[in-house]
Structure 1
Amino acid sequence: MLDGSDSCRGGVCRSAAVSPQPAAPVVTSHCQGDTRIDCLCRGAATYAKVSYPQQYGIYAEIETAAAVMRFNPGGEIVYLRGKGRDWPHPQEWLKRTIGDDWIYYSTGGYSGVVEAIGEYYLPNTPYPTNSLLGGHPFELDAVTRLIESWPALLAEATARLLPQAPAAVRDFLARAGGCDPAVLRQRAEELFAIIGGRVTVLPPDARHVDYDLVPLHISEGCLYKCRFCRVKTERPYRDREWDEVERQIAALRRWFGGNTVNCNSLFLGEHDALAADPELIIAAIVRAREELGLGDSVMTGGNVFLFGSVDSLLHAPSRLFAELERLPCSVYINIGLESVDQETLDKLGKPLAAARVVEAFHRMQEINGNFERIEITANFVMDDLAAGHLPAMLQLLRDGVSRRRPKGSIYLSPLRIGRPSRSLVMDFYRLKTLSRLPTFLYIIQRL
């Protein structure tokens, strides 16, 4: 099992695995000309829906004439923003994920974006996804140039700051200097090795924590192997053994190290963790939160995200939800319903009867009404594959719920990848207006 403890060359960046978790960080600042560094800055401790850039948790910031760079406590870069006139917008930025993807956050006009996805900023991915919104920021010279040049900018800043820097700054610059792009890529590969492969899709509810989470796979594969799905693996479904889960948690603790100070959320994978044995689900959450220190994060609260299916939701015993409700965190379970029209289900290759989907939808409403800490959300496809799909979905979202409710979001996803469609956007807004549940577009994002 790879643990990431020797991830950065020269032993410099490996301190990401042993860095202390500062309970009350004291900012250490140093400035030389137009270059400034602030170590142990503290951002917001609560995730919020705001229409301005927000940094969360503990980080270090280096600002030069060309850019603003932010790093996690282990010295890994997590944020970039250009300062030149060619930078697209002063309130747009790049964020680097633990899977080593750069995501560009754009405003998209604010009001249109928040109505569509429930967030004020639109994540633009460097890989093809199903988004109906956004532009092509990774085709802009200013964006690609900054992604390529940040190591040189860091080296220049280090050379300028180092001679007269205090010890805390010198230590941090050494950590950051040891985490170059090759090392960061290696770190990501080690993470994938720990959990058994890249997370190809995250639950849409992970948007509530800006996708900042720890992945833990308690199962593999999914139950259905639907023909339309492009993001799930072909592996047959199985629960992982408890010793596999324990080894994974231990390796994740070493890999994240002091960087878990900024994490309060857990993703239980893979594609249908709700189908796992209820005792395994609860035990994995409790052990992971304890061993990884998620309850001691500087971020308030705590969350668990997982996928489920129609059958795993209908088969899940009531005692599982009672146990989940007793945990000191919120639990979000996302169910792939896709359609309540039988012809559409058949065309999707989803081996379900429409009546089962309707039954799962009503079970979802029952759980959301009975439990405060648990929220079941659902996905539907947007494309009108058969004449009855959209009318049947609209009838369920409008007449299948007695009144408007703030809980139990519905996420609509087009089947087309990389093909924005004005007509689909119009269909979405019509459905959103008529739905009695919060309704948003589902932007597929990987880890």
Structure 2
Amino acid sequence: MNMMYPSSSFTLTRYHSGSRSYTKMSFPVHCGSYHIIETRSHIFHFNLNHEIIRARSKGSDWGHPHEWLKRTAGNDWVYYSTGGYAGVFEAIGEYYLPNFRYPTNNILGGTPFKLPDVTELVDGWYDMVAALLPASQDDDQHRFIKSVLRNTPSLLQAKGEKLHDIIGGVVSVLPPDARHVDYNVIPLTISRGCLYKCRFCKVKNSTPYRELPAAEIDHQLISLKELYGCDLTNYNSLFLGEHDALQADPRLLVQTVERALTGLGLTHSAIDGGNVFLFGSVFSFLGADPGLFHALDRLPGKIFINIGLESADQQTLDRLGKPISAQNVKEAFARMLNINKTYPSIEVTANFIMEDDLPESHYPSVLALIRDSLVRNCPKGTIYFSPLRFAQPSRSRLFEFNRLKVASRLPTYLYTIQRL
């Protein structure tokens, strides 16, 4: 239900109904239910907890009318730039390029957080909203703005820290498939650490792998439901962390997804569909019983499992310090193709690394899988390429990626590492 309250200096729209699905469009598509304050110079969006979630300037110095700032549940600000639309879509599979204030592997560049209009909005949104309070025309406007102002920047930062406390730390990397829902996922930790401690990895921790007990997972669910509160209706997707949820006991994994979908109400979201995102390793994927995939395929919504293959070349794997064999990688890739063909609701995706100074045998080994092993193009089984070095845009790496993308018989994109 939309309720609009015009005043001399701003317009308040309560419970605006956005899109019911995440749709890839060349103009901004905002999903779910949210509140809007529009002034002569800015537009602000607030979630159902009256916390700021998006903002943009209407001034001529703003990059583009379709570019927005977004605040995540972990209290990071992300700037979504158009980047020329077609080039961005070809590179990452989305029409908008996320830009961050923390180091990431984005090779497309861009430094919007150095622009005055952007920094002014990030740092000054609260004062801008507070300045509207005297102009409120009725009790409802007044109450709404007061409610927004209770969510001060320091309180929002504390709430982001509370999220991290509940799940056991910052989510240092989300699966690349989470791009399908603009990374709007509820994080739930089912295990900690990863099986491998690869030398090249910058986003995973050194914690030994361990599965969490069901009671600890249930406690997270209770705390997450309380933390997200009214805004849970705007989420339809779950991230099972940390770095190798697929290694967990199959019964625990399936039961956790079932309890989360029910306990958090994700199957009754204001946004259609539902998704579960998780990471797996080569060994956990190869060792998974077929019964697990049968059980996952019967769950509501879609399941996305992302596997770090990195290379099918032994010399490259050894240089990376990844303790698996090239044969393991080839077997995991073959199983990925089979799982994707067999189960309609499951998509397994894979990551490979790219860099200027890798062994000459690396790229031919990758092409042997993503091109030569397939007789036709496949719509499932997205391949993501990630550079090893962070925050160093490189024309040569982008050229190499474009060459690989053209040759691949699978959907192929750059992996933009995003945290929560």
**Whole-angstrom CA distance in 1 between matches of 2:58 and 2:203:** 36
Q: Give the deviation of 1:89 after TM superposition.
A: 1.3
C-alpha contact (below 8 Å) 1:108/1:134 kept by paired residues: no
2:405 counterpart of 1:425: no
**Whole-angstrom CA distance in 2 between matches of 1:85 and 1:348:** 47
C-alpha contact (below 8 Å) 1:122/1:134 kept by paired residues: no
2:300 counterpart of 1:328: yes
**Whole-angstrom CA distance in 1 between matches of 2:259 and 2:98:** 32
**Partner SS state of residue 309, structure 2:** strand
C-alpha contact (below 8 Å) 1:74/1:259 kept by paired residues: yes
Q: Who is 1:358 aligned against? A: 330
Letter in structure 2 aligned against 1:307:
F
**Partner SS state of residue 63, structure 2:** coil
Q: 1:382 aligns with which of 341, 354, 359?
A: 354
Q: Who is 1:391 aligned against? A: 364
Q: Who is 1:6 aligned against? A: none
Q: Who is 1:8 aligned against? A: none
**Whole-angstrom CA distance in 1 between matches of 2:147 and 2:393:** 41
**Whole-angstrom CA distance in 2 between matches of 1:197 and 1:103:** 20
Q: Give the deviation of 1:44 after TM superposition.
A: 0.2
2:375 counterpart of 1:402: yes
**Whole-angstrom CA distance in 1 between matches of 2:118 and 2:399:** 30
Q: Who is 1:90 aligned against? A: 65
Q: Report Cα offsets for 1:71-94 as digits up to 9, x if no partner.
A: 000011000101122111111110
Letter in structure 1 aligned against 2:266:
L
2:250 counterpart of 1:250: no
Q: Give the deviation of 1:32 after TM superposition.
A: 1.3
Q: Report Cα offsets for 1:277-309 as digits up to 9, x if no partner.
A: 000110110001101111111000100000001
1:14-163 superposed matches below 5 A: 26-161=1-136
| RMSD (CA atoms) | 0.9
Q: Who is 2:268 aligned against? A: 296
Which sits farther off after the overlay, 397-406 or 244-253? 397-406
Q: Give the deviation of 1:69 after TM superposition.
A: 0.4
**Whole-angstrom CA distance in 1 between matches of 2:210 and 2:375:** 37
2:388 counterpart of 1:415: yes
2:172 counterpart of 1:200: yes
Letter in structure 1 aligned against 2:309:
L
Letter in structure 2 aligned against 1:332:
F
Aligned residues: 419
Q: Give the deviation of 1:117 after TM superposition.
A: 0.4
Q: Give the deviation of 1:119 after TM superposition.
A: 0.3
C-alpha contact (below 8 Å) 2:337/2:381 kept by paired residues: yes
Question: Normalized against structure 2, the TM-score is what?
Answer: 0.98
C-alpha contact (below 8 Å) 1:39/1:172 kept by paired residues: no
**Whole-angstrom CA distance in 1 between matches of 2:308 and 2:193:** 14
Letter in structure 1 aligned against 2:382:
S
Q: Give the deviation of 1:55 after TM superposition.
A: 1.1
C-alpha contact (below 8 Å) 1:30/1:38 kept by paired residues: yes
Q: Who is 1:345 aligned against? A: 317
C-alpha contact (below 8 Å) 2:9/2:135 kept by paired residues: no
Question: Normalized against structure 1, the TM-score is what?
Answer: 0.93
Q: Who is 1:220 aligned against? A: 192
2:161 counterpart of 1:172: no
2:157 counterpart of 1:185: yes
Letter in structure 1 aligned against 2:212:
R
Q: Who is 1:370 aligned against? A: 342
**Whole-angstrom CA distance in 1 between matches of 2:138 and 2:263:** 36
C-alpha contact (below 8 Å) 2:130/2:145 kept by paired residues: no
Q: Give the deviation of 1:400 after TM superposition.
A: 1.6
**Partner SS state of residue 337, structure 1:** strand
Q: Report Cα offsets for 1:356-392 as digits up to 9, x if no partner.
A: 0000000000000000000000000011411100111
Q: Give the deviation of 1:171 after TM superposition.
A: 3.6
Q: Give the deviation of 1:166 after TM superposition.
A: 4.5
Q: Report Cα offsets for 1:150-201 as digits up to 9, x if no partner.
A: 001110122211xx3243x344323211001100000000000000000000
C-alpha contact (below 8 Å) 1:271/1:308 kept by paired residues: yes
**Partner SS state of residue 53, structure 1:** coil
Q: 1:434 aligns with which of 385, 407, 412?
A: 407
Letter in structure 1 aligned against 2:63:
P
C-alpha contact (below 8 Å) 1:113/1:121 kept by paired residues: yes
**Whole-angstrom CA distance in 2 between matches of 1:146 and 1:372:** 44
**Whole-angstrom CA distance in 2 between matches of 1:331 and 1:436:** 22
**Whole-angstrom CA distance in 1 between matches of 2:134 and 2:269:** 33
**Whole-angstrom CA distance in 2 between matches of 1:345 and 1:306:** 23
2:240 counterpart of 1:268: yes
C-alpha contact (below 8 Å) 2:9/2:39 kept by paired residues: yes
**Whole-angstrom CA distance in 1 between matches of 2:269 and 2:146:** 25
Letter in structure 2 aligned against 1:414:
P
Q: Report Cα offsets for 1:259-285 as digits up to 9, x if no partner.
A: 111000000000000000000110110
Where in structure 1 are there 5+ consecutive unaligned residues?
A: 1-25
Q: 1:211 aligns with which of 175, 183, 189?
A: 183
Q: Who is 1:316 aligned against? A: 288
Q: Which runs of 4+ in 1 moved over 4 A?
A: none
Identity %: 52
Letter in structure 2 aligned against 1:305:
F
**Partner SS state of residue 152, structure 1:** helix
Letter in structure 2 aligned against 1:388:
S
**Partner SS state of residue 108, structure 2:** coil
Q: Who is 1:3 aligned against? A: none
C-alpha contact (below 8 Å) 1:308/1:336 kept by paired residues: yes
**Whole-angstrom CA distance in 1 between matches of 2:386 and 2:298:** 32
C-alpha contact (below 8 Å) 1:49/1:119 kept by paired residues: yes
